Amino acid sequence: AMIRTAMMSVADICIIPIQDYLGLGNEARINTPSTLGSNWKWRALPGTFTDKLAEHLLDLARIYARLNQ
């Protein structure tokens, strides 16, 4: 619901972390505020970015008129 709400926004730019699209939990955080070390280290595993995921993202972009045309 949060992704769709953000996509429906009138804002010019909508940035959604890929971890949210993938439904990953806290283990996939890329930053923990107010901490030192171990930030910005998340990496996608091979096979994460599938054709099915690409189609889903494209569908959302079309539905919410977020394609640059």
The string of pLDDT tens digits covering residues 10-43 is 999 999 999 999 999 988 988 888 988 888 888 9
Each domain of the chain, given as residue ranges in start order, spans: 2-63
Quick one: CA torsion of 14, 64, 7, 61, rounded to 10 degrees? Answer: -60
The string of pLDDT tens digits covering residues 39-65 is 888 899 999 999 999 999 999 999 999
| Mean pLDDT rounded to a whole number for the chain | 92
Task: Assign 69 a pLDDT band (cuts: 50, 70, 90).
Answer: low
Q: Which residue is it, tokens 């099915």?
A: 52
| Distance between CA atoms of residues 17 and 62, nearest Å | 18
Q: Does residue 52 sit in helix, strand or coil?
A: helix
